[in-house]
Amino acid sequence: MARSVIVTGGFGILGRAVASAFSAAGDNVTRIDFGAEASNTRDSGLDIGGVDLTNKVATRSAVDQVISAFGGIDVLVNVAGGFLWETLEDGSIESWAKMQSMNLMTAATITQLSLPALKNSPGGRVINIGAGAAIKSGMGMGAYAASKSGVHRLTESLAEELAGSNITVNAVLPSIIDTPTNRADMPDADTSQWVKPEAIADVIIFLASDAARSVTGALVPVTHGG
């Protein structure tokens, strides 16, 4: 039976790869994004653009659309987020709030609103996108790493909160993702060990599978390129 899958940030490079992987597996996939519309079209599934996932009213409306279209929610993948590099001395203190909003509050908001539907699924899954940089941060990464560390703590605490339910909660922690933007920003970098979006999607597919039914509260590094 096809599952109902939500991928936030679904119009971006990683979100599109994740959505495509679930669609290929026969699932009903909804892509939700802050952007107004996707750059690519699909033959099936639901696209909901223009959603501020820090706004509970807008997010609830999107969740309700998914439930109306597909009867519920089985898998929630929180890809939505952002990145910036700036030092504390030369940067803006507002950047810290921006990163918390984009990376942590988006995930917390839609997860909270999706929990009733996820609890009705025979095998609910919440999968977050953390970051290897939140394990050991570097210069200029403070605001981003702090927000992704929040995603890690959300993952661990929610997994324990839902330990008696049918829902598992995990996160994947990629290193540098091989995207056109990252290649443009780092033109001289060695990209051989950058992680392909499709490889991250494969790990997410596993965590959403029945084979991973006993895995919860895990922070899974995804760091091997090729």
Catalytic site residue 144? yes
Catalytic residue selected from 144, 154, 168, 220: 144
Type and span of the H or E element at 106: helix 106-119
In the three-class reduction of DSSP (H, G, I as helix; E, B as strand; rest coil), residue 164 is classed as coil
Asked whether the beta carbons of 34 and 81 are under 8 A apart, the reply is no
**3-state DSSP assignment of residue 78:** strand
Q: Cβ of 149: how many Cβ atoms within 10 Å?
A: 18
- Any long-range contacts for 55-62 (C-beta under 8 Å, 24+ apart)? 55/109, 56/109, 56/113, 59/109, 59/110, 59/113, 60/113, 62/32, 62/110
Whole-Å CA distances, 62 to 7, 34, 49, 85, 113:
12, 11, 9, 31, 10
Nearest to 222 by CA among 200, 192, 193, 205: 200
CA distance 14 to 108: 19
E strand map for the chain = 4-8, 28-32, 46-48, 75-78, 125-129, 168-174, 219-222
Active-site residues, by number, are 144
